Amino acid sequence: MKLVSKVLATTFTNLEPDKEYSFKIRASNIVGTSPWSNDYVVKTAIAPPDATSISITSNQNREQYLTWNLAPRAESYEIDCNGTQITIDSGNTNGYNNQNLIPNKTYNYKIRAVNSSGKSPWSNVVSERTTTNPPEPVKGLTYELVDDLVKITWNKDSESDKYELKIGRRDKDHNIDWFDSIELTENQYEKNI
């Protein structure tokens, strides 16, 4: 006589995540029913984290500060910045300061929450261009006075989109009385005095 062991299996579906379930089993035949087996306790895995959203709350010429909503069940976060991944190792952190950026460049961000069961979908994408550096002081300032016409010129700066020109009179004690301020988009100015 040969004893053959058959392994029987069953599958339970639609179990809730992060819950404990108990199982036991007994056998029966035409003669009777066996006692119940020991209880087996199984805990289902936690669900993947929920999605979150991201925003840029501060933008300067070399850094951008990001914030997001904390995602339930998150153990960490992954930020994608222009194809480069940044990992935030805490599920309780909801801000990141991205530093040493290139001025006047657009940065695109998206975020997802991560835990041991998986990853949330990527968030919305937010984009922001870093500001430019403040312009250097104006260089090459010259003036030409012909009769009662003064013509002032200076070197155009690629970082500047406008200029402010102040006009004043000096008294005999060399004190200046600033009486006019003009905003210009070109690198020259003419005025009859």
pLDDT over 90 at 50, yes or no:
no
Q: What is the DSSP letter of 100?
A: S
User: Mean pLDDT for the chain?
Assistant: 87
Domain ranges of the chain: 54-129, 142-192
Identify the pLDDT of residue 4. 53
According to CATH, the topology of domain 54-129 is Immunoglobulin-like (2.60.40)
Q: Tens digit of pLDDT for each residue in 148-173?
A: 888 888 888 777 778 888 888 889 99
CA distances in angstroms from 83 to 78, 110, 114, 128, listed in the order given:
12, 10, 18, 15
- Nearest by Cα to 54 from 81, 75, 84, 72: 81
Question: Using 50, 70 and 90 to split pLDDT, how confident is the model at 180?
Answer: confident
Q: pTM for the whole thing? A: 0.57
d(CA 32, CA 29): 5
Identify the pLDDT of residue 11. 85
Identify the pLDDT of residue 45. 82
